[in-house]
Amino acid sequence: MLLSLRMLARLAGIVRVLARHDPAAAFEILGLRGLPLWLLQRLGRGRGRGRAGERLAQALTELGPSFVKLGQSLSTRADLLGEELAADLSALQDQIPPFPFAAAKAVLEAELGAASEILFAMLEPQPVSAASIAQVHLGQVAEPGAEGEVPALRPVAVKILRPGIERAFERDLRLFFWLARLAERTQPRLRRLKPVAIVQLFADQIALEMDLRYEAAGLCEIAEHFEGDDSYLVPAVDWRRTARRVLTMSQVNGIPIDDRKALLESGLDLAEVLRTAATIFFKQVFRDGVFHGDQHPGNMMIDPEGRVVAVDFGILGRLDRETRLVLADMMIATLSRDYRRLAEIQVQAGYLPGDRSLDIFAQALRSVCEPIVDRPLQEISFAKLLAQLFQLTESFAMPVQPQLLLLQKNMMMAEGVSRSLCPDLNIWALAQPLIEDWIVMYRSPAARLAENGRNLNRLLARGPQFLSDLEAIAGEMRRGGLRLQGSRQDPADAWATRRMAQLALLVALFALLVVLFD
């Protein structure tokens, strides 16, 4: 009861902030209808200044980092919000008010255990960027040279968490969990969306972002995947000057990927820029199974050579091998217009409830996919396709797959940037040959045979331990030391137990043969 009262008080505070900035027009664009919109219109009438998007951005900033992240996601969706509202929200990406340099130094010195003047030859007081969770200061570190030589200065960027950021997120996460649980209890139609699971996924991501050592580790992992590939540049980590709330890395520079005018003035080919970006996105998602999870334009740049430069790896998306193979099978079925097979794949993956009609679901998939399969890819908006597929999940009570939400978000971000640079070019058309090659590599008969071989090797590797365990179980049974609770074992039961152990061994050997000759 006390928790509910606290949450209601927090909601009341949110309403007051929204009323003060009067973003009702922006909420109307976002699709808010009915009593909530009417209430905001009555409370905030005439009190806000600037355009609707500017007022919404101001309200989100005042509400705190969790709401700023919401606005950052919305800012990439010009196709849904309109150019003006999306542009207004884009200010949230890198124009958050900074916190004082004295506070930044205090965090840095407490984390690294030394005065900043000892650790850095220079540290600029004014941050180069300030985001919802941290801000970045440019600086230099002295690299020791040979005896008698002047130390060389190496430029670095130092990311420092905002003071008190953990408490701010903890407060909002409690609210989000409370609302999610309330929705699951009172709104059965929303349960398939797994609101609690989605909030938990968000909380897990925030926990990782609150420890900058995880971001440093992610940077190193991505760098390893692209070792020898100079089309993608990420900062190098300075581990000596990195801790939980401080991340020091090499400086990287470039033109923001959505700055069309600056890219053209630099002489870069926009189609080639998009081709490079599409290739990198494909490699991260399908080849590596780990991708930059927050690819908004504030985190992506292009250097003078046309290479993609990325920063802010606080969120990494991950897809296991099985999920990637499911996606590949779905692509094959869609391209071949085999909608029943497409439905069967989703049933096998557990996406479609077993009590739903497979034929009707296949028909629904056809209604969404058939209108686009013969159209040129540059005319297809995959963002809108995802929206239609999402409507299908509601119609068929399909649970949301949290592991795919981050991928969908970044696909929509990539498409938004692509259309702002080259409206007549689709980024997915550029990646199509790579996707086709990947499907052949992992779903051809030869690939399946190789996969079966790997499965066999894994089973054989576990075989000796499995047989040893069976032998130990059989020995315990013979000695009467392994029994079902409350039962007594006579000689006949012991014989039956030994036969059961032998049967289990035969089943295991049969499974090996199935894998080998499948």
450 to 268, 324, 329: CA distances (angstroms): 42, 17, 17
DSSP symbol at 438:
H
Type and span of the H or E element at 345? helix 339-348
Q: Say if residues 53 and 26 touch (Cβ distance below 8 Å).
A: yes
- Residues 347/348/353/356 CA torsion (nearest 10 deg): 40
pLDDT value of position 354: 73
Q: Say if residues 299 and 310 touch (Cβ distance below 8 Å).
A: yes
Q: Is 356 left (phi over 0), alpha (psi -120 to 50) or beta?
A: beta
Q: Tokens 């060389």, residue?
A: 152
HSE of 391 in the Cβ direction (CA atoms, 13 Å)? 9
Choice among 94, 294, 312, 329 that is catalytic = 294
Q: For residue 393, what are its two tokens?
A: 């999940």
- What average pLDDT values come out for the chain (518 residues) when binned by 10 residues? 64 74 56 52 56 78 79 60 70 75 96 94 93 92 75 93 89 83 75 74 82 95 94 96 97 93 94 90 90 86 95 89 82 80 86 82 88 67 64 72 71 79 76 75 67 63 66 63 50 50 46 42
Q: Say if residues 269 and 306 touch (Cβ distance below 8 Å).
A: yes
Q: Say if residues 233 and 250 touch (Cβ distance below 8 Å).
A: no
pTM for this one? 0.71
DSSP symbol at 155:
E
Residue 204 annotated in active site: no
- Give the separation between CA 228 and CA 234, rounded to whole angstroms: 13
- Give the separation between CA 319 and CA 207, rounded to whole angstroms: 19
Phi then psi for residue 353, to 5 deg, are -55, 145
336: helix, strand or coil: coil
**In 95-233, which ranges are E strands?**
122-123, 129-130, 134-143, 152-161, 232-233
Q: For residue 227, what are its two tokens?
A: 């070792």
Q: For residue 361, what are its two tokens?
A: 């679901």
pLDDT value of position 266: 94
